[in-house]
Structures are given as structure tokens and as C-alpha cells.
Amino acid sequence: MSELNLILLGPPGSGKGTQGERLQEDFRLPYYATGDILRAAVAEGTELGRTAKEYMDRGDLVPDEVIIGVIAERVEGAEAADGFILDGFPRTVGQADALGEEMEGLGRSITAAVLIDVSDEEVVRRLGGRRTCAKNGHIFHVDFDPPKNEDVCDICGARLIVRDDDKPEVIRHRLETYHEKTKPLVDFYEERGVLKRVDGSLEPEEVGNRIRALLATLRMEEEL
């Protein structure tokens, strides 16, 4: 496959980050997680970060004009010449149109939009139990990966907190936002013949295997 330009779709807590990192390792492609980029800007106190924080704290989407430029810079960069993995962008049809125009201008196209499908109930269970190290950001989960001592990071001993966007009321709002704004992307990419669905309720290893299998199928189809 000449280049591999991937978009990971799915609700918050679907495992996009886990699968994005695995794909990055498997295919040696840059992995752009929009949430990480924005949180870094928040931590640095940049103008972008201050603006983004107001929206993120409420569980709202960051406005298009704030994020599109950030993504465009990375897609155009030399490190993305052989492809890229996008996680968290696009989140709306408007953003998808903007990305499509950007790609068309570069003479490129999206290889696949991979939908990691997970129910709302599973999202609440996954995110509601997540605990984050206040000092270094290490992640634990009360069910899947509990710390040895409650509310204490195993790695550095710092306090574990419930991140603002992992609080129940914010999770519910994030899901409402996802269904209203982001789910139409499924139709958008399905109409363009690049949507690929994967059952995100499976174990992470199996989800990863299925994504690699569908990408292998795409590679074979291209070579025919």
C-alpha cells in the first residue's frame, strides 16, 4: 500500500488510543491523538490551551477553527509523508469536509475510517472507573487495573484523581455530544466507501487483530 492514512472513530472510551498506539508501532506511522495535543497545550498554558480548556472542562467539542490548523500542520509535515493515524479528528462532518479538502490539495486521500463500536453502557463503565495520577498522568482503573492502594499511584506514589472529563455527568454529556455531532461521520465515510467497522466490546488484543486483518485485506485489494 503506497500510503496508509487512517482515521479512528468511536465514542470516548472505545479504545481508540490503545489501538492507535498499536497501529503506530505496527506500521511506523505518526499517531496524532487530538486529545493529547490539546491537553499538552492546556498544560503549557498556550493561547490555544486556554481556549480549549474552557470547552474540554464542560465536555464540549473544541471549535473547528482551533483544531483544524493544528491537524493540517501535522498532515502536511514530512513525518506523515507515508501516512498517519488520526484519533479524535474529525469529530464532525464539517471537520471531515475540511480534512478532505486538505487531503485533496495534497493529492492524497483517506485509506480507511475505522469505527470501533462500543455501547453507551460500556463507555460509562470504562470511563467512570478510570483514575489518573495527579503528578505524572499514569492511568489505573478500579475494575480492570486497580492500584495496590486505593487512590495512590503504584508508580510514583502521587494521589489518584477522577479527571474532570471522567466524571459521570461529563461522560453523559460527552456521549450526547458524540451521538449528535460525531456519529453522522459514520454515514459520511460509509457513503465514500472507506468505513470499516470493528466490535470494540472485544478484548483489546482481538480488536487489534481485526483491524490489522482489515488493513491487510485493503492492501491485497490494492494490489489486484
Annotated catalytic residues are 16, 91, 130, 163, 174
- Pick from 11, 37, 16, 206: which is nearest to 119 by CA? 11
Give the Cα separation of 90 and 198 in Å (integer).
Answer: 18
Place of cell 482515521: 7
Spell out the SS3 assignment of the chain.
CCCEEEEEECCCCCCHHHHHHHHHHHHCCCEEEHHHHHHHHHHHCCHHHHHHHHHHCCCCCCCHHHHHHHHHHHHHCHHHCCEEEEECCCCCHHHHHHHHHHHHHCCCCCCEEEEEECCHHHHHHHHHCEEEECCCCCEEECCCECCCECCECCCCCCEEECCHHHCHHHHHHHHHHHHHHHCHHHHHHHHCCCEEEEECCCCHHHHHHHHHHHHHHHHHHHHC
Cα distances (angstroms) measured from residue 185 to each of 46, 119, 144, 163, 222:
30, 17, 30, 27, 24
